[in-house]
């Protein structure tokens, strides 16, 4: 077992008497080399789970175990890729990618060789001297992925890394990430609120319910790679996941708009099918 959450609860205190129960009894087992997505509406606790695995935060109760050891703090065995890659703007691509390796006291020559390997994997071998402001959003995220890969982590934690990218760029990055996963065999925990993204990438999609967040359902995705979103297996699975996600979204909207809120007939589903919906 690579990543194991046992009966994890997380409560944030908001002032003296108020608290927010964000995660409720999360049990999660991720095998070595698995590609798992956590899918759920905004605010359900996805990033909180990732932070717990990364060691950036601690559970209120329960345990997070990676490679058989209780997680106490961040470590280079678990690297996070964020939505905004977090490159150093004053460093060129090569220096951004070698930064973590040099901190680990690797020689400059070896670090640069490793960085080249990582950059080639994301097809940016010709951009070593470019600065972040000279790169597109997709290229920046690819540098961020290369920078994480060269650290050779056991687990790659990705928090909506492609959410800010346009659709075409995202499709290309989905292909690259699938190739990287197949080549490296890394364990990947990928967070998204995008159903199609989760199904295109992962072996297993874990659907979370709204607060307090729980793992509501697990879907195994058995479609050939590289995945084609029009594959009938994926299309059928997408409908099932969408139905369940709709229920959760309705709960969120009722919380925001009050109990008299009525979910219009399949607003989510219709939007995804590119037509105006039956309720008009
Ligand atoms: N450090 C914190 N202090 C207080 N509340 C927090 C903190 N971090 C997250 N939350 C709250 O916990 C809930 C879950 O947040 P998060 O895990 O970021 O959700 P998601 O990533 O699924 O959108 C949200 O209501 C958020 O406001
Ligand atoms: Mg989040």
The string of pLDDT tens digits covering residues 144-168 is: 999 999 999 999 999 999 999 999 9
Which residue, judged by its Cα, is nearest atom 16 of ligand 1?
45
Q: Which residues touch 135 (CB under 8 Å, ≥6 apart)? A: 93, 127, 143
For residue 75 and ligand 1, the question of a CB distance below 6 A is answered with no
List CB-based neighbours of ion ligand 2 within 5 Å.
46-47
- pLDDT at residue 263 in the model: 59
Strand partners, 38: 191, 206
Q: First and final CA of the chain: distance in angstroms?
A: 50
Nearest CA to ligand 1 atom 4: 12
Ligand 1 atom at minimum distance from 13 CA = 4
The model scores a pTM over 0.75: yes
pLDDT of residue 134: 97
Which of helix, strand or coil describes residue 104?
coil
Closest CA to 178 of 218, 221, 208, 135: 221
Does the C-beta of 136 come closer than 6 Å to ligand 1? no
d(C-alpha 232, C-alpha 111), whole Å: 44
Could you tell me what percent of the chain has a pLDDT over 70?
92
d(CA 224, CA 88): 37
Question: Given pLDDT bands bounded at 50, 70 and 90, which one contains residue 260?
Answer: low
Q: Please give the pLDDT value at position 17.
A: 80
CA-to-CA distance for 86 and 26, rounded, in angstroms? 29
How many Å apart are CA 222 and CA 197, to the nearest integer? 15
């Amino acid at each position: 077992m690579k990543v194991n959450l046992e009966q994890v609860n997380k409560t944030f205190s908001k002032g003296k008497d108020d608290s927010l129960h964000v995660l409720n009894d999360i049990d999660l087992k991720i095998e070595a080399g698995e590609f798992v997505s956590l899918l759920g509406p905004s605010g359900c606790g996805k990033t909180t789970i990732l932070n717990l695995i990364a060691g950036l935060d601690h559970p209120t109760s329960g345990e997070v175990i990676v490679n058989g050891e209780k997680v106490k703090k961040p470590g280079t065995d678990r690297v996070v890729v964020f939505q905004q890659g977090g490159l150093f703007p004053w460093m060129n691509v090569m220096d951004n990618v070698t930064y973590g390796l040099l901190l680990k006291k690797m020689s400059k020559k070896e670090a640069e060789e490793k960085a080249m390997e990582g950059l080639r994997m994301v097809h940016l071998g010709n951009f070593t001297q470019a600065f972040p402001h000279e790169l597109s959003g997709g290229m920046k995220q690819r540098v961020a992925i290369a920078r994480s890969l060269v650290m050779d982590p056991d687990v790659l934690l990705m928090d909506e890394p492609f959410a800010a990218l346009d659709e075409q760029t995202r499709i290309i990055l989905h292909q690259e990430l699938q190739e990287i996963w197949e080549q490296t065999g890394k364990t990947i925990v990928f967070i998204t609120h995008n159903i199609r993204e989760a199904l295109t990438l992962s072996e297993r999609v874990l659907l979370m319910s709204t607060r307090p967040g729980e793992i509501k359902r697990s879907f195994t995705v058995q479609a050939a790679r590289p995945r084609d979103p029009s594959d009938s297996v994926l299309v059928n699975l997408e409908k099932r996941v969408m139905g369940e996600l709709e229920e959760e979204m309705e709960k969120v909207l009722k919380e925001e708009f009050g109990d008299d809120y009525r979910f219009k007939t399949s607003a989510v589903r219709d939007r995804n099918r590119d037509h105006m919906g039956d309720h008009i």
